[in-house]
Every structure is written in C-alpha cells, then in structure tokens.
C-alpha cells in the first residue's frame, strides 16, 4: 500500500481532486517500502466519479479511521488518506459497504480492551497506528491472479477480529476473508453485523447448556442487556430453538418508552421482558416463580453483559446445576456472587469471548454465520435497529469521530453503523 505522502509524490502535490482533464504527472521520488508496484517513470491518473483518482497502475485512493494512541475516540481518531495498489497473488481489494460501531471497538480505542491491534506504519502514517473497527461487510473490487475463491462483486466479512474495518477500502489476503455465499436477499447492514453479535449469541445459547430438546418450550434462559445486538439475537435464536427467554432491559425515561421497548422485544419473540428495577426489587422472586410455573420450567442459563447487582440477580433465578455466562461488562461493575449459589446450587460461572472462540474454531464460525444468514434470508432473524453514520468520500474526520463518540452514550435507539456511500 502507498502512504498519503507517497501518493503526493507519485501524483504530484498540485493535482486537483476534482476536474475533467487527465493530468500528466512526472514521478521523481523513489518508491517507499509500502509501494508494491515497480517504480514507473511517468504515470497518468484520472478522476473517478469526479472525486477520486485511480492511476493507470490501478492505485485506488482510500481513507481509514486510525488511532496512534489510546483515548476517547473524538480525541484520538483521525482520517488517514492513502493509496492501495492493484492486488497481486492472493491479495484482494475491498470497498466498505457498512461497519458497525460496537462497544468493544470503543474499548479498543480507549486502550481498555484485552486485544489490541498492533500499531503499524504499513498505511504510511507518520506515527504507527491501527485501523479502528473489528466487524464489517466489504465488496470485492479486484483480485490478485492467484485468488481462487473470490471474484469482483462478491461480499465478504473478516475471518478474524482486529483487522480494522473502519476504512473505505482495504487490501487483505484471500485467507483472511469469508465469502458470503449467495448474497441475494441480504443487505449490507445484515452482513456487516453478522460475525460478532449473532455468533456470540448462537454459541452461548448452544454451547453452555445441555438443553433437553424433548422439553422444548419448557426451559428458560434469562439475560440482561436484552435490547443489545447480542440480546436481540439471543431472543430470536432461542425462539427458533424452543427456549423461553426472560429478558431484562434498563428502564426508559417514561413508562410509555419502557413499554415500547418491551413490545419491540416481545415482537422479536421474547417470552417475557422486565426492567432492571423489577429485577432488583424484592418482587422479582415471585415474578419468576409465577412465570416458570412454580419452577417446573427451570431457568437453565443466564447471559450477563452488565455485571454488578444485575448479574447477581440473574444468578439467583437459576435452577440448580445451571450456568451463568458473562460476556460483557457494560456497567463496569464486577460480578459478585453469593457463596451459597456456588455451594448449594452447584452453579457454574463461565465467560465467553467470540474473538478467542472464532480463532480456535474458524470453520464452525463460518457455519454459524451461514446458519444465521439463512434465518435472515427467510425472515426469521430481523435487522437490529441502527443509527446510521453516512460516510461519503469528503465526509470530515470531525463528523465521523463525533459520531463514533456518540455511540458511547447509553439508551440509544440503535447501534451506530458506518455506511460508506461509494462514488467509485
């Protein structure tokens, strides 16, 4: 790949980004290590969509939201412009369709997430940096001569997290990508949000509890953060698999808003929805007793992405021998467990991290994605609500980073989603 400064030297500092003529540019600066193309003596470049430029050698201009130190997204994210060469060998050139703004992405930028992409200079930034974002849908724009499984126009997602998805274009190796087979009937939103939250939900519900399939409709799971991307996926998968769900959300500002949110989740297939204040009240024990037919329908799995008192309250509802799986810590409070639950109820407490799981089970991850995409195609898995942040070629960095920062506030109507509106 070419750095922005390299591009300037290749294309000439005085070239205009908008214009109809094909400027001729003399190249005198040596190629840097980022340049994968042999140094041409001279080159033509031409405008695409009146804004962007591709040289006769196939270089594409790209922008990436990068950070070279940890901190709040609004303070540390900057937009880096660079060039991407034509793909060689097994390289694949990609254009962003959409990428979600997940809580883990924010934590990564803040430097408080366990996995930290290495800071590198491969995009030609002055300081080593990482491209933000872990999940997204991309379209293949060109393939190297040794690429066998992908063609121009295919849609792909990243095989692993940590590759950096908040960028207009990327060049990756074929081996780093999962092809979306049969993209017909799917949207960029659905594909861009498939590989983290639905996979997390799917594996947690399937892998931590030995459900008695003969008792379909008579066993429960309970979860907090039920309106999150993961929570919504849990509700829909559990509905498909005959598991009842007891869902907890945070109270909204007004009873009407709270009721609206509960209804939204019931419409997805939630069996019952309660608020956090109900969960933490002395009444909750009776509520659970009633809806589980005096415990005849056991709650066998608890999924916790909040922590603190909410996690403790979930654990107290579990039937003996059940599991509580912690996969997030939105309240930033530790999980505190009464000893009695461990001693007398033989509960098991697990954690789940989809990045780690996916690295160890790449084929199963792909199968899981395909399973959920099939449910999506048949209308059984609904879109998550999103607040779109539209990214055009000339969108300013301040607008993007402010939009990213915004997603850190709670009580949102939908997940932040970067949608790239390509002009090339």
* Smallest distance from ligand NAP to CB 69, Å: 22
Of 1, 413, 402, the residue nearest 170 (C-alpha):
1
Which lies closer to ligand NAP via its Cβ, residue 113 or residue 119? 113
Q: What angle do CA 330, 277, 407 make, to 5 degrees?
A: 30
- Choose between 286 and 350: whose C-beta lies nearer to ligand NAP: 350
State the nearest-atom distance from the C-beta of 332 to ligand NAP, in Å.
7
Which one, 45 or 279, has the nearer CB to ligand NAP?
A: 279
Nearer to ligand NAP, 108 or 322 (CB): 108
SS3 content of the chain, % helix, strand, coil (to 5): 30, 25, 45
Torsion of CA 74, 82, 19, 24, to 10 degrees: 160
Where are the extended beta strands (E) located within 226-376?
Answer: 244-249, 272-275, 299-304, 323-326, 348-351
Question: DSSP states of 314-343 as a string?
Answer: HHHTPPTT-EEEE---TT-BPP---HHHHH
- Identify which of residues 92 and 104 has a Cβ nearer to ligand NAP in the complex: 104
CA atoms of 286 and 275, how far apart (whole Å):
15
Our CB check for ligand NAP shows the closer of 53 and 327 to be 327
C-beta of 152: minimal distance to ligand NAP in Å? Answer: 31
Query: Is residue 416 within 8 Å of residue 407, measured between CB atoms?
Result: yes
Residue least distant from ligand NAP (Cβ): 328
Binding site for ligand NAP (CB under 6 A): 102-104, 196-197, 200, 225, 227-230, 250, 305-306, 327-328, 330-331, 352-354, 410-411, 415
Q: In angstroms, give the least distance from the CB of 232 to ligand NAP.
A: 8
Active site residues: 113
Q: In sequence order, what are the residues at sequence separation of 6 or more whose Cβ sits closer than 8 angstroms to the Cβ of residue 321?
A: 345, 346, 347, 348
In our burial notation (b when 16+ CB lie closer than 10 A, e otherwise), range 19-45 reads eeeeeebebeeebeebbbbeeeeebeb
Residue 81 bridge partners (DSSP): 63
Shortest Å distance, C-beta 250 to ligand NAP: 4
CB of 279 to ligand NAP, least distance (A): 11
Cα diameter, the chain: 82
Residues 6+ apart with CB under 8 A from 360: none
> Residue 220 is encoded by which pair of tokens?
């429960």
């Amino acid at each position: 790949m070419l750095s922005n400064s390299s591009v300037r030297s290749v294309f000439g500092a005085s070239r205009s980004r908008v214009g109809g003529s094909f400027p001729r540019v003399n190249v005198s600066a040596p190629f840097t290590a980022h340049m994968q193309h042999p140094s041409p003596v001279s080159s033509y470049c031409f405008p695409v969509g009146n804004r962007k430029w591709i040289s006769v050698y196939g270089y594409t201009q790209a922008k990436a939201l990068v950070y070279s130190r940890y901190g709040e997204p609004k303070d540390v994210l900057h937009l880096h412009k660079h060039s991407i060469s034509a793909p060689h060998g097994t390289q694949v050139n990609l254009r962003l369709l959409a990428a979600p703004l997940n809580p883990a992405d924010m934590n990564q930028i803040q430097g408080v997430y366990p996995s930290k992409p290495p800071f590198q200079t491969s995009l030609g930034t002055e300081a080593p940096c990482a491209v933000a974002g872990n999940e997204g849908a991309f379209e293949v724009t060109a393939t190297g001569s040794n690429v066998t499984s992908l063609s121009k126009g295919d849609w792909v997602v990243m095989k692993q997290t940590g590759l950096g998805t908040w960028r207009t274009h990327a060049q990756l190796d074929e081996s780093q990508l999962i092809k979306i087979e049969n993209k017909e009937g799917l949207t960029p939103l659905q594909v861009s949000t498939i590989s983290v939250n639905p996979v997390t939900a799917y594996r947690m519900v399937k892998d931590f509890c030995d459900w008695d399939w003969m008792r379909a409709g008579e066993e429960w799971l309970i979860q907090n953060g039920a309106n999150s991307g993961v929570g919504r996926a849990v509700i829909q998968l559990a509905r498909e698999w005959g598991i009842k769900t007891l869902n907890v959300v945070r109270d909204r500002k007004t009873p009407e808003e709270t009721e609206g949110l509960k209804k939204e989740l019931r419409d997805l297939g939630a069996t019952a929805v309660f608020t956090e204040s109900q969960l933490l009240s002395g009444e909750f024990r009776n509520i659970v007793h009633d809806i589980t037919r005096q415990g005849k329908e056991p709650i066998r799995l608890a999924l916790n992405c909040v922590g603190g008192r909410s996690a403790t309250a979930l654990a107290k509802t579990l039937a003996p021998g059940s599991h509580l799986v912690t996969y997030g810590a939105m309240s930033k409070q530790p999980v505190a467990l009464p000893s009695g639950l461990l001693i007398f109820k033989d509960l098991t407490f697990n954690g789940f991290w989809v990045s780690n799981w996916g690295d160890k089970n790449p084929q199963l991850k792909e199968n899981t994605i395909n399973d959920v995409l099939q449910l999506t195609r048949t209308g059984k898995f609904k879109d998550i609500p999103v607040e779109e942040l539209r990214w055009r070629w000339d969108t300013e960095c301040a607008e993007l980073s402010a939009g990213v920062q915004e997603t850190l506030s709670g009580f949102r109507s939908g997940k932040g989603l970067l949608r790239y509106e390509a002009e090339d």
